[in-house]
């Protein structure tokens, strides 16, 4: 595995591969790697000839009160994990490599960034697109893999790639979970045993909610006149499609109660978008995010 620490060395290697007509897959990370990250590298390996991973804790996506300084950093452990999945090249840039004029969230994320995470972390996605656009420009990948764990981020990046007409295919990676369904995250290591038990309820409550919503939508499809709706003119299909959001209010309030009853301290959001049910909750000092399909 090649380890490069500046963009000159990176670009030398990438140019060699491009000259050989090799397809380059890229997985940007902030390190503190776990199986969820490694699953993305496996996707990159099976869809490209070379797999490049970056580890860069990006200062511009953290708000001043967030955990930038405390973000877990363990380079040796990360490199060992990357070797175990046969990554070809790891890029460990300095801040100056990425931000020669000093860190700045100078690119603005598009409409996908509205709401959800942005309600809680304003400006976060500007920092994300600012770093990802620079990494894309330096690595020049053919494909890039982003986890569905950060579903809104995936949409923001897709939108950016489309807007900038980048010749990069954005491939989503399914959420890697522990045996209880808890979405893997670098921050899970900070959960106490008691908090871990509570955290593992998140995906269960979301999946139940999704199943309940689907069952109601299905029932509405079979029995549309029971659904009081200004949209009857749309026919059965239109009604069924709208059934979820129209019935969503009660179900969602109910699920928020369930989350609080399970021991979470706060539900920051619980919403449907992109045919997903997306949630952010607080548990002690930590915040957890997760999402499940509703289709």
Please identify, among the stretches 13-21, 31-39, 64-72, 219-227, the one whose residues bind ligand AMP according to the rule CB under 6 A.
Answer: 31-39
Best CA proximity match to 278, nearest among 137, 163, 183: 183
**Binding of residue 147 to ligand AMP (CB under 6 A):** yes
DSSP SS3 for 40: helix
- E strand or H helix at 287, and its extent? strand 286-293
**Binding of residue 149 to ligand AMP (CB under 6 A):** yes
Q: How far is the CB of 25 from ligand AMP (least distance, A)?
A: 13
Q: Choose, by CB under 6 A, the member of 14, 24, 38, 40 that binds ligand AMP.
A: 40
**Binding of residue 29 to ligand AMP (CB under 6 A):** yes
Best CA proximity match to 140, nearest among 45, 32, 48, 58: 48
Task: Give whichever of 53 and 239 is closer to ligand AMP, judged by the CB atom.
Answer: 53
Q: How far is the CB of 255 from ligand AMP (least distance, A)?
A: 21
**Binding of residue 184 to ligand AMP (CB under 6 A):** yes
| Binding-site size, ligand AMP (CB under 6 A) | 16
Task: Give whichever of 127 and 147 is closer to ligand AMP, judged by the CB atom.
Answer: 147
Question: Active-site residue 231, yes or no?
Answer: no
150, 123 contact by CB (below 8 A): no
Can you tell me the distance from the alpha carbon of 198 to that of 83, in angstroms, rounded to the nearest whole number?
Answer: 34
**Binding of residue 175 to ligand AMP (CB under 6 A):** yes
Q: How far is the CB of 18 from ligand AMP (least distance, A)?
A: 24
Can you tell me the distance from the alpha carbon of 44 to that of 143, in angstroms, rounded to the nearest whole number?
Answer: 8
Can you tell me the distance from the alpha carbon of 72 to that of 128, in angstroms, rounded to the nearest whole number?
Answer: 18
**Binding of residue 59 to ligand AMP (CB under 6 A):** no
Task: Give whichever of 40 and 217 is closer to ligand AMP, judged by the CB atom.
Answer: 40
Best CA proximity match to 161, nearest among 18, 15, 26: 26
Can you tell me the distance from the alpha carbon of 25 to that of 44, in angstroms, rounded to the nearest whole number?
Answer: 5
Task: Give whichever of 30 and 283 is closer to ligand AMP, judged by the CB atom.
Answer: 30
Task: Provide DSSP, 53-110.
Answer: EEE---GGGS-TTSSTTTS---HHHHHHHHHHTT-SEEE---HHHH-TT-----S---
Please identify, among the stretches 28-36, 163-171, 224-232, 262-270, the one whose residues bind ligand AMP according to the rule CB under 6 A.
Answer: 28-36
Contacts with ligand AMP, residue ranges (CB under 6 A): 29-30, 36-37, 39-40, 146-147, 149-150, 173, 175-176, 183-185
Give catalytic residues, as residue numbers.
37
């Amino acid at each position: 595995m090649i380890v490069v620490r500046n963009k000159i060395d990176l670009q030398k290697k990438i140019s060699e591969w491009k000259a050989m007509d090799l397809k380059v897959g890229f997985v940007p990370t902030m390190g503190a790697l776990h199986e969820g990250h490694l699953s993305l590298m496996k996707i990159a390996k099976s869809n490209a000839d070379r797999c490049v991973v970056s580890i860069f804790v990006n200062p511009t996506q953290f708000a001043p009160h967030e955990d930038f300084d405390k973000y877990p950093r363990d380079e040796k452990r990360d490199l060992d994990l990357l070797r175990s999945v046969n990554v070809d090249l790891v890029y460990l840039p300095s801040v100056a490599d990425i931000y020669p004029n000093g860190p700045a969230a100078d690119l603005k994320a598009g409409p996908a960034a509205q709401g959800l995470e942005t309600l809680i972390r304003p400006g976060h996605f500007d920092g994300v697109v600012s770093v990802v656009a620079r990494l894309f420009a330096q690595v020049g990948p053919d494909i890039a893999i982003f986890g569905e764990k950060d579903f809104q981020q995936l949409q923001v990046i897709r939108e950016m790639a489309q807007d900038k007409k980048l010749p990069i295919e954005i491939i989503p990676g399914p959420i890697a979970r522990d045996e209880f369904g808890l979405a893997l995250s670098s921050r899970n290591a900070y959960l106490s045993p008691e908090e871990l038990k509570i955290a593992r309820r998140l995906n269960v409550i979301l999946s139940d909610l999704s199943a309940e919503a689907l069952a109601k939508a299905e029932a509405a499809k079979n029995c549309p006149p029971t659904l009081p709706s200004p949209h009857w003119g749309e026919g059965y299909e239109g009604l069924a499609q709208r059934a979820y959001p129209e019935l969503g209010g009660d179900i969602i309030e109910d699920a928020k109660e369930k989350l609080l009853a399970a021991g979470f301290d706060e539900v920051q959001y619980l919403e449907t978008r992109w045919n997903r049910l997306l949630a952010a909750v607080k548990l002690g000092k930590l915040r957890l995010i997760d999402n499940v399909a509703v289709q």
